[in-house]
Each structure stands twice: as C-alpha cells, then as structure tokens.
Chain A
C-alpha cells in the first residue's frame, strides 16, 4: 500500500498533495527567487490554500515574509515546458523533503505534463522521477483530461458527464489551450493553442505601467499582485475606453496602487478598495454587439483633460490605473492588438471544435469548461460567451462553466484519479522504466 503523490507542475504554481485528498497540501511558486537583500537564490514559501481563489494573490502570499521588490526570478519552465531539470530537481527536492515529507521510493507519482511535450523533455522528466528521486511508479496525465474527469464526477447528471465529452479551456501561466476531451482522453489532434498566459499578461502590464507612470520592469511580484487584484475583462471595449478618460468621479476605473516602501510594508496594496470596485456597478445594457470592430470611431478630444493623469511624480510611491485594467486581459481575446499573428480565444475554441467529428460539435459547445488562473478575471466567461455566440452555428447552444476553483481544478481531478481502483494498473513502475526506457513507457499513457 503505497501512497500517491499528485503533482500538478505548473509553470507558475506547483500544486502538490496526496491522492484521495480534497485539496493539495502544498501550493508553491515553481521558481527560485533572489530578493535584493539576499545573496542566494531562495525557495518561495508556500501559499495558503484558502487564498488561491478569487482575488487572492499568489505573488503577495509567497512574499509574506520577504520584500520582493526588484527580486530576480528563475523558473525551470519556459513557454510551458520543463527546460531546466536541474532547477526543477532543486525545487522538487525541497517540496518532497521539507514540505510534503514523503519518501519517493515508497510512493507513486501522478504528474501533469503539458500537451505536446517534446520527447527530449519527457525523457529528462522520466530521468528526474525514476533516477534522481526513485519513485516506485509513475502516471503522466494532461490537464484537460483531469479537468474533464473531475467535472464529470462532480456533476453526474450533466450533459458533459452523460456524453463523456467536453471542451476544456485552460488559460494558465504560460499559454492557453482549447482542448476537446472525449471519454477521458484529450483529442490532441484537435487541440488549439494561443501563446499567451498569465506571465505574458503580467509582463504586458509592467510595460504599460512603465510607459505611463513609473518604471516597474523589474517588479514581477508586485505587478502580479496588481494584475490579480485590479484587472478585469471588459464587456464593451469602446464604451469602457470612453469611461476611462472621464475626469474625477465619473471615471469608474481609476484606482491607485501603493508600492511597498521597504520599511513599513513589504507588500503593495490597493489604496482604496471601494474605489477600485466601482466598475462592478457597470451593467451590460447599452453595450454594442460589435466588440471585434475597430474602434477608431472614438473621437479625439485633444484639447484638454483627455489625459487626466498626473505628471509622473518621482517622489510618490504609488501609481494610478485606468484603462490598463481591462486592456491587459483584452490580449487573450485579441492577441492581434499586440501584433501577435494569432487568433483570439473565441476563434481558438471554434477551430478546436471544428477539428472534431461533427457529431461532437453541439455537445462540445454546450460543455465548455474554463480552468486556469487567468480565467479568474471578472467577466471572463461573460465576454467569451459574447464573442463566441455570433461565430457558433445557430443550432448549437453555447454553455460556459467556470471551474469552482480554476487554480486547483486540475489537481483535484488528479487526486480523484489517483484514488480510483484502476490507478495502480495505469502506472509505469521503476522496473518497467529500467527495462523499457522512457519512450516505450510513455506509449502506455496514450490509451
């Protein structure tokens, strides 16, 4: 009777714990960082589980005891894939030994791996697991199938469960996938990917703030917090751009973020949270249906207060945000605004569905599941539905559900799978790995 370690090894956050548990025991950023005050690269401290949902911020939690102003960061994962096994070994070793307190040689491992992982990366991963850590056995899964598995068991009467079919949209740290799942397997010939995720959004926000207010190009952790607390998805971009240029109280989007000063507080914060929430009072009433249309129609009012922004005040430790709050998540819906030659999320979904058998199309559109931290922006699902409806065939219903916890959903699916009676038989044992090698063991995981 060995226990199963369930490890959702994200590019942003590691979620780790034991098969059968409700929630992971440990959530920790998948990186090392070096604050200005430190000479060494340090392991971030774990994030408390209760705070991962909604507006809670991974970055700020992680930094609770440390000033992360201008800290450098090293990540084992580049563009979603594990490229630095040495660094990952370091992080996992800390995780298994000091946080989970497991002995790998007596444990099985359920590991999530991104779709289309290159064979060379799979080989390096298997070496880590069997040769460095000596796990007794391994099962590798992808996030969409685990999300489907979890949702199907949670809602046994839903169409998703009855048809054994769903379209999982995973908008995570490194990239965004629209992945059809059928009978618990991801149909990878139909998967479509946008090369944008939470990391790019944070970097884009850094760029905007640095352009407009003050230089935060080195402030990954602070700007992560700003993004998570203040960004949202617009349901009507032209209208909201207009609102964002209004002076004074009429500008429902203006809010102020205070940077850490390194003395009285080591974390930044929203200056006036009530002010920051004023945008919630906006309804979708007057919105135009043509969101994708060029909005050159906004007339320019160059003469006066169009730009109500204060002059950059270098003695101030805070900055204002207005339209940045929705222009950042806007990228997921229109990457071309940034000059990326990629379709936005709605088209991405349609292309994924269209690559499947026509019989599946109605079920897929009616069983769209959103997961991943970057789907937590307010109005994400509403906006997606708005863009999707006009480009989906009329006879198909569009139904989008967001996972109860988009950060933990994949892990929970893994935990459920690891506690199912058939799990042990699905694994590859260390002995099998030693006999067959990585490539042949990997074939086992595809059906």
Chain B
C-alpha cells in the first residue's frame, strides 16, 4: 500500500492515471467523438470509475477472494509484473459474465412481438430532440465543442482550461 500515509488527499491525487484500453481504442478510431461519448456513458455504470480500474474490471475483478489473489491484483494494477499463467487460468474460470453478455445470450429478439421483455421495456428516444449542452468546465450553457474529444465548453476561457488540463484526461 501507500507508505507515505500522509493524508487521504495526497493518496488520491498521487495516483497515476492510465487511460483504459477501451478508451484508447475509442479515441483512435475514425469517429473519435461519438466513440468517446459512448465510452463515457458506459463509464457511468462502472463500480470503480477510476480509469486504472476500468482495465482491471473485465479480467480481474472476480478473482480476488483471498489474500494471495488480492496481492496479484495489486501488483498488476501497478503495472509492475505480468500475470502468471496460473492467475490467468483462475480468472478465466471465475470471471462472471456482464449483464450485457447475459442479455445477448438470452436472445430476446427472437421472442414473439407480444411478449414483454427487457428490450421492449426500454423507454425509447425522447420525442423532442432538443439536447441542452452544459459547459464541462463551469456548467453553464455551452455553445462550443472540443474538436478532439467532443466535450462542450462555453467560452475561450473555459476552452483554455479544457485544453490545458482536461482534454482527454478523464472519460468524457
């Protein structure tokens, strides 16, 4: 763990951030902005929203019931060691499917049209498409869009703050 147990805030801010592979892929794809928007929505359902955890969730989350595995995970998340083959095998055996995977397997699309299902219960798109945009820096009505990441801002001032410190830094 952190040896410099100074105060909690330092512990938070000293964490280094790695961009999760999904995000990297999303951002490198041809349609950066819509991909990034999807990744962002996806992230709203994450349990451990810190980016470094996103990459652990899929493959390591389920295998941590005892000390030893927790230890393996810790080393992994710091990026110092590669996974042992044994740890990998354990994960493959124990990782639970995500809800989206289970949903896919259930193939609800093949149900007759009158049968209510998870898919049919979705509320559907809004009738009016007037999307309001709020500046991600200050929260006020925003009329401009960052060409790199698609995030909104309201003014030059907020644009500068965005470019300097925030662009592509978090899932957004």
- Give chain A's interface residues, CB within 8 Å of chain B: 31, 34, 36-37, 39-41, 67, 69-70, 72-75, 78-81, 83-87, 90, 115-116, 118-121, 177-178, 188-189, 191-196, 199-200, 203-204, 206-208, 210-212, 214-220, 237, 241, 244-245, 259-263, 292-296, 298, 300, 302, 306-307, 309, 314, 317, 322-324, 327, 334-344, 347-348, 351
Contact A83 B102 (CB under 8 A): yes
List 28 A-B pairs, Cβ < 8 Å.
A40-B67, A41-B65, A70-B11, A72-B48, A90-B65, A115-B121, A116-B116, A116-B117, A118-B102, A121-B102, A192-B121, A193-B122, A200-B45, A207-B170, A214-B9, A215-B13, A217-B51, A219-B12, A262-B7, A293-B130, A295-B132, A306-B157, A323-B138, A327-B139, A334-B132, A335-B126, A337-B134, A342-B122
Contact B106 A119 (CB under 8 A): yes
Q: Find B139's partner among A193, A196, A208, A216 (CB 8 Å cutoff).
A: A208
Add 12 more A-B contacts to A34-B64, A307-B138 (CB < 8 A).
Answer: A69-B12, A193-B123, A195-B122, A207-B49, A211-B166, A215-B17, A245-B140, A295-B141, A309-B138, A317-B9, A323-B140, A336-B129
A-B contact count (CB 8 A): 234
Q: Within the assembled complex, what's the spacing in Å between the Cα atoms of A293 and B130?
A: 7
Contact A74 B141 (CB under 8 A): no
Contact B13 A314 (CB under 8 A): yes
**What residues of B have a CB within 8 angstroms of the CB of A178 in the complex?**
123
Taking each of B64, B98, B117, B138, which has the highest tally of chain A beta carbons within 10 Å of its own beta carbon? B138
- Distance in Å: Cβ of B60 to nearest Cβ of chain A: 11
- Distance in Å: Cβ of B2 to nearest Cβ of chain A: 7
Q: Find B172's partner among A211, A219, A344 (CB 8 Å cutoff).
A: A211
- Distance in Å: Cβ of A164 to nearest Cβ of chain B: 21
Contact A322 B48 (CB under 8 A): no
Taking each of B50, B65, B125, B143, which has the highest tally of chain A beta carbons within 10 Å of its own beta carbon? B50
Contact A348 B123 (CB under 8 A): yes
Q: Find A339's partner among B37, B45, B138 (CB 8 Å cutoff).
A: B37
Closest to B156 in A: A302
Given known contacts A307-B157, A317-B7, A218 and B13 CB-to-CB distance under 8 angstroms = no
**What residues of A have a CB within 8 angstroms of the CB of B43 in the complex?**
203, 207
**What residues of B have a CB within 8 angstroms of the CB of A218 in the complex?**
12, 15, 48-50, 53
Q: Find A194's partner among B9, B123, B136, B166 (CB 8 Å cutoff).
A: B123
Interface size on B, residues (CB 8 A): 76
Contact B41 A203 (CB under 8 A): no
- Distance in Å: Cβ of B99 to nearest Cβ of chain A: 4
Contact B12 A324 (CB under 8 A): no
Contact A118 B131 (CB under 8 A): no
User: How does the 8 Å CB contact mask read for B92-116 relative to A, with 1 for contact and 0 for none?
Assistant: 0010111110110110000000101
Given known contacts A118-B106, A295-B132, A69 and B8 CB-to-CB distance under 8 angstroms = yes
- Interface residue? B70 (CB, 8 A): yes
Q: Within the assembled complex, what's the spacing in Å between the Cα atoms of A343 and B70?
A: 41
Contact B118 A116 (CB under 8 A): yes
- Considering only residues 13-31 of chain B, those with a C-beta below 8 Å from chain A are 13, 15, 17
User: How does the 8 Å CB contact mask read for B56-93 relative to A, with 1 for contact and 0 for none?
Assistant: 00000110111100110000000000000000000000
**What residues of A have a CB within 8 angstroms of the CB of B133 in the complex?**
337
Given known contacts A296-B141, A339-B41, A343-B124, A74 and B11 CB-to-CB distance under 8 angstroms = no
Contact B126 A347 (CB under 8 A): yes
Contact B45 A199 (CB under 8 A): yes
Contact A36 B48 (CB under 8 A): no
